Amino acid sequence: MKIVVIGLGHMGGNMALTLHAAGFEVLGTDVTENARNGMASRGLSVFSPEDALPSADVYLLSLPTSAHVREVIESSPGILRQAPAGSVIVDTSTSDPVVTRELAGKVVEAGLEWLDAPVSGGPAGAAAGTLGMLLGGGEATIERVEPMLKAMSSRYTHVGAAGSGHVVKLANNYLCAAHLLTTAEAVALAQRAGVEPEACLAGLNSGSGRSAVSEVNFPKWIISDTFDSGFTTGLMRKDLRLARDAAIGQGLSLDLLSQVVERWHAGLDDLPDSADFNHVTDAILRLAQG
Ligand code: NAD
């Protein structure tokens, strides 16, 4: 199976290397020369976005937003005009489901196949081939690319037709963003009452308040003061805006979601988009110190 990876950043670069190491023929590209050179120095074959798109069985996208995904698919000359009939577009980005459904329709109309496959697990999961994946698309398409999915993911879940993977990914990231705020408040409460954060987390993780945030984010990136998860505040803000827009688009008024979006965008000591997303807990945890 020949795979072209478009977007060699934190996630795409690691996915490309994992697929290459698993024996797939992989070619990668990125608009940033640094990203291309970095991957080439680690043994990956790269090409410039200005070159003709190489023929492949799968085009794996790992791009910041739906606007970038639209550009690589629809621009001239984009995937729609250059990819061979029957090839599969797999969008692992966290994208806007409305745009995804529109693009998936155009892709299928052009004789290609579509799968949305947003991921969880960060750059470390991408490097280890242990990502969680949420799949939106047809069963037959999933079967066609299953060897590739198995090399990237230890757990992938088919959640529905095209766009469904992106819908569930937004729901997931809403919960993660909320858990960061609520777990920080729980830890601050315990600390003010004389319980050390480590002891508080050990207790939470043996009880019903635990989550990936209490089990992974707090020990690995927050309490350890490393803040090197490879996922930025800006990307989480994008995901939250998409989740809010998806709710509004469905005529749903979700008060807690609105509050979480608001909190992540304001009242966080001007936390820059480039900061590690775990820094969202800083202001709350400082409250515990008085
Ligand atoms: P990133 O910014 O590190 O990488 C994106 C890459 O895409 C960049 O290198 C950029 O130069 C490249 N790019 C932009 N436009 C391009 C184009 N037209 N053609 C080719 N390359 C182009 O971002 P990331 O952290 O790797 O995230 C990628 C996607 O995965 C995002 O949608 C993000 O929300 C999602 N995601 C990230 C994580 C994480 O932990 N970083 C986890 C899950 C999901």
Nearest to 236 by CA among 260, 252, 211: 260
Residues 97-117 have a mean pLDDT of 98
Q: Residue written as tokens 């820094």?
A: 279
Pocket of ligand 1 (CB under 6 A): 6-12, 29-32, 35, 49, 62-64, 68, 71-72, 93-94, 119-120, 122-123, 230-231, 235
What is the pLDDT of the chain when averaged over all its residues?
A: 96
Cα 170 to ligand 1 centre (Å)? 16
What is the average per-residue pLDDT within 73-79?
A: 90
As a CATH number, domain 167-287 is 1.10.1040.10
Question: Is 233 strand, coil or helix?
Answer: helix
Please compute the mean of the pLDDT values over residues 256-271 and round it to a whole number: 88
What one-character DSSP code corresponds to residue 281? Answer: G
What is the model's pLDDT at position 26? 98
The ranges assigned to domains in the chain are 2-160, 167-287
pLDDT number for residue 269 = 67
Q: What band does 267 get if pLDDT is binned at 50, 70 and 90?
A: low
Instruction: Assess contact for 103 and 113: CB atoms under 8 A.
Output: no
* pTM across the whole model: 0.95
Domains 2-160 and 167-287 share a fold: no
Per-position DSSP letters for 18-74, written without gaps between them: HHHHTT-EEEEE-S-HHHHHHHHTTT-EE--TTSPPPP-SEEEE--SSHHHHHHHHH
- pLDDT for residue 76: 77
Q: Which fold has domain 2-160?
A: Rossmann fold (3.40.50)
* Residue 246 scores a pLDDT above 70: yes
